[in-house]
Amino acid sequence: MRTAYQYKLRPNKEQIATIELWLELLRRQYNYRLGERFSWWSENRCPVNACPLVMPIPQLRDNPDYYSQKKDLVNTKDKFREYKLIHSQVCQDCIKRVKLAFDRWFKADKNGQRLGKPRFKGKGRYRRFTYPQIKLNCIEGNQINLPKIGKVKLIQHRPIPEGFHS
Q: How many domains does the chain have?
A: 1
| pLDDT at position 1 | 59
Residue 98 within any structural domain of the chain: yes
Q: How far apart are CA 95 and CA 126, in angstroms?
A: 13
Residue 85 lies in a domain: yes
Mean pLDDT of 47-72: 72
Instruction: Identify the pLDDT of residue 50.
Output: 60
Judge whether residue 17 has pLDDT over 90: yes
pTM: 0.82
Q: Give the per-residue pLDDT at 3.
A: 66
**Residue 26 domain-assigned (yes or no):** yes
Degrees, nearest 5: CA angle 123-34-128: 45
- Tell which residue, 70, 91, 71, has the closest CA to residue 22: 91
Domain that holds residue 67: 8-43+63-121
Closest CA to 10 of 159, 151, 158: 151
- Give the confidence band of 166 by pLDDT, cuts at 50, 70, 90: very low
Report if residue 14 sits inside a domain. Answer: yes
